[in-house]
Structure 1
């Protein structure tokens, strides 16, 4: 039964009040709820609890406060005022994207599904499906990576899907992964895309002629055998490339100075924990932030030495991280303690 506040269907734990067996507490993917009458009515106990599991976050650089994020089993949440979050899409909230020029945003569920909407105005978050035409048995991570840059939208599984017109039409690119699923994708320019895989492959895809189907795919050196969680190209694509690995053992942050032909481990004194995202400060390319399974770390010398940069962040797995360049705000989505931001 479910009356009163909506209770999440995915339950983890139930507990009765030892002083009153009619009082029941439920812990689930939606938080904590209390029933005073054995489950007939429920009241949410979540106000004030920062416990949302953010998998991905994105913002509009032109807007001071506009942020959306995909959350585990609680849909996609949006925050345009820095005061409260609203659920703007249901289900399992996957990767997100934003097109600042056209003021559009994209969100995804698990699998290859994508939806697009206006980011601002009266039709904000009025979603329209723009998914790639993948088959029902298409193989991809539970949360496949996506990226958005202007009109270009990408989504990747065992192949790369690219749209040049905001998701209205798609082309499929075989990036030669041998069945490995993409774990990271970044649009460097209107002609160049990088893809990383769950087993450490990194490829550069260069548009051929007017389309993507016959693109030139260049296999770059592999930093290591492991889950490539992020790729950052802060300059020209044939020079500096950063990559992170979400795995234990071995290196976690790598840098290439020759466009991916060779890599050097720049993990330095980072603890042996997965790195889930990296951000390179565009105002100082030696300043790099690493989102890890235990907070955020920063190097100011390209990885020679790292320091804890959690700055009051709770003990949390940081799943994604972005930098609002104009406001100099580093924003993170954690997988157990909500979303946070700090001035850098």
Structure 2
């Protein structure tokens, strides 16, 4: 009887805690914290940013521990997307239906540490409520979710274990390519194209039938495609495909034939693109991203600890920032504004930044994106209202 009473007490406590979870009061931080001196601060780790295909003033931010966020004023302010009461608030990628912005697909998990949670969630009411859409795919984490440009019920997920596809709006998923720890995926930016590219930690794949079958491409990579990869394509020349590899502190490959063959554009083990400085000291696959300019296929951006830009298809590089100032270090994703190609966004461990002049000057656009990762906290034994907390990379 004693054991039964104890069990009943604990069950009652758990249910009560769950019922009261919506009664928490937010206390901050809300405004972007500014250091008087030292390394630039941030407000929380953002893993991916994406624009609403139906409204170019609206963009979404997948945070590592704070759920999904939305800005409806081009990143001037942010608000949460109803993910506060999900069992876990790690988010890795998002996809918005191009026929109805109320339909949103969200992958859970931490893409920078490859930790999985519950798989893929779906909302049909603009993020007010969420339901699991993971039949078949299970708890796999999608590093990227892409919707078929011609069929809004068809989505492809590049996950930590295989490439999966749904043809019924996420009700069921089937495996299209087994295994591999995928890091990125891009649809060829050409109207009507059926070509999709995907990269894993050390491989590159190409599909010519909308993600149903895949072929590994090896021509031109030698043994330099290792330790983590990212992809970039430009609508200005859809035949151009860039693959960035973490190997040897940053290696760049270019295909000019739609991903059929590649050649090395940059490989210099003595000059690091991924380190704190050119002598090295990077963090590998954790923070690495590339992006091609939508109007100039020869202009390529790379970020890891610092922002770099190439104006000659990745052959030479100019460092635009220093890791301790201007833009927060540990960089994860790029996104150009779909109707203003001069506006480029950068997501990192500190939040979201934006440039209007090809990466020369930057402003933070993270106010109210309250996704700070608080690892430890302690209350003062002397002052009841004094609490100290430590965060990831943000003070």
The interval holding the TM-score normalised by the smaller chain is 0.5 to 0.7
Change (3 A) 1:299 1:254: same
1:282 shift after superposition: 3.9
1:296 shift after superposition: 1.1
| Aligned position for 1:152 | 195
| Aligned position for 1:216 | 262
Change (3 A) 1:233 1:63: farther
| Aligned position for 1:333 | none
2:142 aligned with 1:105: no
2:319 aligned with 1:270: no
Change (3 A) 1:281 1:179: closer
CA contact (8 A) 2:104 2:123 kept: yes
d(CA) in 2 for partners of 1:99, 1:239: 26
1:76 shift after superposition: 1.0
What's the TM-score once normalised by structure 1's chain length?
A: 0.66
The farther-off stretch of 273-282 and 175-184 is 175-184
Aligned residue pairs, count: 267
d(CA) in 1 for partners of 2:232, 2:208: 15
| Aligned position for 2:172 | 127
1:88 shift after superposition: 0.9
Q: How does 1:59-208 map to 2 (within 5 A)?
A: 59-72=96-109, 73-82=117-126, 83-89=128-134, 90-95=138-143, 96-103=145-152, 104-111=154-161, 113-118=162-167, 123-132=168-177, 140-141=180-181, 143-149=182-188, 150-157=193-200, 158-174=202-218, 175-178=221-224, 180-188=226-234, 191-199=239-247, 200-207=250-257
Bigger relative CO (Cα 8 Å, ≥ 6 apart) = 2
1:229 shift after superposition: 2.8
d(CA) in 2 for partners of 1:164, 1:237: 25
2:343 aligned with 1:287: yes
CA contact (8 A) 1:184 1:195 kept: yes
Change (3 A) 1:59 1:316: farther
Unaligned runs of 5+ in 1: 1-19, 25-34, 318-335, 337-344
Deviation string 1:205-227 (CA, Å, 9 cap, x unpaired) is: 2338xx83xx1333336733544
Change (3 A) 1:153 1:102: same
1:170 shift after superposition: 1.9
| Aligned position for 2:377 | none
| Aligned position for 1:311 | 367
1:306 shift after superposition: 1.9
Change (3 A) 1:300 1:23: farther
Unaligned runs of 5+ in 2: 1-5, 23-81, 110-116, 276-281, 374-391
What's the TM-score once normalised by structure 2's chain length?
A: 0.58
Normalized per residue, which structure has more helix?
Answer: 2
Normalized per residue, which structure has more strand?
Answer: 1
d(CA) in 1 for partners of 2:297, 2:355: 23
SS of alignment partner, residue 289 of structure 2: strand
CA contact (8 A) 2:233 2:291 kept: no
d(CA) in 2 for partners of 1:164, 1:91: 27
SS of alignment partner, residue 183 of structure 2: coil
| Aligned position for 1:241 | 300
The farther-off stretch of 275-284 and 174-183 is 174-183
d(CA) in 2 for partners of 1:279, 1:201: 21
